[in-house]
Amino acid sequence: MGFISFHSPIGDLSITEKDNAIVSIEWGRGNFELKTPLLKEVQSQITAYFNGKLKEFYLPLNPSGTLYQQKIWQALQTIPYGTTKTYSEIALIAGGSPRSVGKANASNPIPILIPCHRVIGKQNLGGYSGGERLQTKEYLLNIEKLFNTL
């Protein structure tokens, strides 16, 4: 098991690896680090993402959740960089209702890498549970929009 914390444009991030796969990203800084080659690669890829040099992550992920949550998180990973889908569109792909998609998004243990920020409401941004909430979601969407046009 490994653990790393580092600063990003959206605040300090703490990432946990278990059995050679990323299992969580949380906001805040941890008290210890146990860096592994995978965690160093995660930090490198996230840094490249924020600098507009990486549009797709190439990392092993193993989020813990129900079968339904797993299905939603798989669907989120099909949303291309710089684009969005509505909660309703994800519900059509993965099943369930827009509300259940929102609940699965809120439970996403690996935000950014599993891009729940790319899911929006029909008439507004919807919610976001990480960092500074909607401010963080707007930031992520805006940098993707900016770098997607370059």
List the catalytic residues.
Answer: 116
The two three-digit tokens of residue 120, written as one number? 């929006």
Radius of gyration of the chain (CA): 15
How far apart CA 137 and CA 76 sit, in angstroms, is: 15
- 8 Å CB contact between 43 and 52: no
Q: Which residue's structure tokens are 């291309």?
A: 80
Q: Which residue's structure tokens are 């509300």?
A: 99
**In a 3-state reduction of DSSP, which class is residue 145?**
helix
The two three-digit tokens of residue 118, written as one number? 């790319």
